[in-house]
Amino acid sequence: MHMIRRVLSFRIGNPILSGLYYSFFWMMLGALILSLLLWSSGMKEQSLSHYIYVVHAIAAVFGGMVAGKRSGKKGWYHGGLTGILYGLLIIVIGFLALDSSLRIGDLLLLGTVFASAAIGGMFGVNIRNNL
C-alpha cells in the first residue's frame, strides 16, 4: 500500500512552478464561484471587473505562499516572481484567446499580483520556519 501511495504522489520540485500550479487552482476555484454568483443572482457581467482583481489577488497570495514555503528563503523574491509569471500568463492567455490588446488594467493586474504574491511568499517562508 505504501508503494502505491509513492507511485501516485505528484510533487513539483521547483517552488515557482508549484506556486503557479496553486495560483491557477485558486483562480479556477474563484472563477467557478464568480460564475455561480453570476448565475444565481441578478448580477451583471459588467460589475465583475472588481471581483476578478480580487480573485487574481487571492490566487497570487496562495501561489506566493506555496512558492515561499517550498523555497524556504527569499519569500518575497520567489513569491513576486511567481506573481509576475502568473500575471504574464493571464495576459498572454487573454491576448491569445480573446484577441485583447494591452491596456492600463493589465499593468494594474501585474502590480496587484506581484504585490500579493510577494506578501504571500513572505508569509510562506515564515510558515515553513515556524513548523
pTM for the full model? 0.83
**Higher local confidence (pLDDT), 55 or 45:** 55
- Give the mean pLDDT of 15-41: 91
Residue 116 C-alpha cell reads as 500579493
**Three-state DSSP class for 62?**
helix
124 touches 79 (CB < 8 A):
yes
Percent of the chain clearing pLDDT 90 (strictly above): 43
Determine the Cα–Cα distance for residues 3 and 113; give it in Å rounded to an integer.
Answer: 39
Pick 70 or 25 by higher pLDDT: 25
**Cα torsion 38, 39, 41, 45: sign:** positive
Least Cα distance to 75 among 2, 28, 19 occurs for 19
- CA dist 19 and 67 (Å) reads 5
Single-letter amino acid, residue 19: G
* Burial (CB count within 10 angstroms: exposed 0-12, middle 13-18, buried 19+), residue 9: exposed
Rounded Cα–Cα distance for residues 52 and 49 (Å): 5
